[in-house]
Amino acid sequence: MHLDIPDIKQEVSTGSLPSRGRVDELVTAAYTRYRNHTAGAVADYIPALADADPNLFGVCVVESAGATHAVGDTDTLFSIQSISKAFVYALVCEAFGHEAVHKRVGVNNTGLPFNSVMAIELNHGHPMNPMVNAGALATTALTPGCTFDEKWEGIRATLSDFAGRELVVDDEVYRSESETNMRNKALARLLQSYGRIDIDPLGVVDIYTRQCSLLVTARDLAVMGATLADAGVNPLTGERVVSARVCRDTLAVLASTGMYEGSGDWLFEIGLPAKSGVSGGIVAVAPGKGAVATFSPPLDSAGNSERGQRVIARLSRALGLNLFASSVQVATR
Ligand code: GLU
């Protein structure tokens, strides 16, 4: 679909959050409401993830203006997993423009599981979007750098800039996933056969696995999301990480595909672009306002954190974050 939208200056739809004290109260209330919620199961298809403590639970809001509200296990480290896909997509768009990624990868929902081989076959080799494994592998392959070492360093450095601190790999998770990721290797080979990956596919899987193994906290995720909410400037460090245009494009992709097969229901109920990962993290972004991040390992059948989804649904309403919610304005005719 090509809409031929002229390149005109665009106003942004921003509003304001409640007062800091009120946000603190609402974050604490949401945490308390779901602290004893026990539904879901910890992911175990990557052996190292099976050991996660299902009781861990943290909620963090970082405002675009920099204020932080954190309750629970918001400084516990866990591997970022699929949430890395959002930020690597932003990195590639920043380097080469979103058209390049759009052409190679696409932005439409597959309607199929995140690691589907069938989705590639049904779409004649097109990976469809950068938030499923096939599209993420094709996106990681596009990262700038002549060698895999250069590509990896660019990924690690950019995700660190989003977080505002140096991120490192969890070696145990990296090793565990490397030993069991035959399916991702198969996806990469299949993409190579369709010309969607034109460098060594196993090298691509290796740096993709490393990007998924980067250690973050719920607080880091909230800062990373708040950077996307703040037109690409990290609200804590003041550093510009990507352009405002790249944030807009990344959030559009997250809105349609960030929550696995639950993406449509999520947008309908919560009204925010978000990304989740199988280690139990979720980050949801309210453009111009900030980001909410949660960490709680037990997942539903689509792979989204049970408690995380509930907390963010509640905060989206309580903080007035839903992008589709409006109130009547007094006419000025
Ligand atoms: N590294 C994981 C995989 O490729 C990421 C899965 C996820 O978080 O969705 O299977």
| CATH at 77 | 3.40.710.10
Mean pLDDT value of segment 100-127: 75
Which of 212, 234, 259 terminates a domain? The answer is 212
What is the domain extent for residue 167? 84-212
- In this structure, the answer to whether residues 208 and 296 fall within a common structural domain is no
pLDDT above 70 covers a percentage of the chain that reads 94
Residue 103: its pLDDT value, please? 80
Cβ atoms of residues 213 and 174 within 8 Å: yes
Mean pLDDT value of segment 248-263: 93
Q: Write the pLDDT tens digit of every residue in 183-200.
A: 999 999 999 998 889 999
Give the best-scoring range by mean pLDDT among 7-16, 91-100, 126-135, 170-179: 170-179
Measured CA to CA, the distance from residue 199 to residue 88 in angstroms comes to 17
- pLDDT-derived band of residue 34, with 50, 70 and 90 as boundaries? very high
Contacts 24+ apart (CB under 8 A), 70-73: 70/27, 70/218, 70/219, 70/222, 71/27, 71/28, 71/31, 72/31, 72/35, 72/218, 73/218, 73/295
CA of 277 to the centre of ligand 1 (A): 7
Q: Write the pLDDT tens digit of every residue in 5-20.
A: 556 555 555 568 999 9
Residue nearest to atom 7 of ligand 1 (CA): 82
- In this structure, the answer to whether residues 185 and 271 fall within a common structural domain is no
For residues 298-312, one letter each, b for 16 or more C-beta atoms within 10 angstroms of the residue's C-beta and e for the rest, the string is: bbbebbbbbbbbbbb
- In this structure, the answer to whether residues 231 and 290 fall within a common structural domain is yes
Residue 327: its pLDDT value, please? 75
- In this structure, the answer to whether residues 197 and 159 fall within a common structural domain is yes
Cβ atoms of residues 184 and 133 within 8 Å: yes
Residue 15: its pLDDT value, please? 66
Cβ atoms of residues 236 and 164 within 8 Å: yes
Distances (CA, A) of 290 to 18, 152, 205, 257: 12, 28, 32, 20
Pairing of strands 290-295, 281-286: antiparallel
**Residue list, ligand 1 pocket, CB within 6 Å:** 81-82, 114-115, 133, 177, 184, 212, 277-278, 303
Is 276 part of any domain?
yes
Residue 8: its pLDDT value, please? 54
Average of per-residue pLDDT values in the chain? 91
Which atom of ligand 1 approaches the CA of 260 most closely?
9
- pLDDT-derived band of residue 325, with 50, 70 and 90 as boundaries? confident
Site to probe by mutation for ligand 1, drawn from 44, 81, 139 as the one with most ligand atoms within 8 Å of Cβ, is 81
**pLDDT over threshold 60, residue 88:** yes
Is 333 part of any domain?
no
> Taking Cα atoms as reference points, which of 145, 148, 165 lies closest to residue 210?
148
Which of 186, 212, 238 terminates a domain? The answer is 212
Is 323 part of any domain?
no
Mean pLDDT value of segment 210-232: 98
Residue 125: its pLDDT value, please? 73
Q: Which DSSP letter does residue 268 get?
A: H
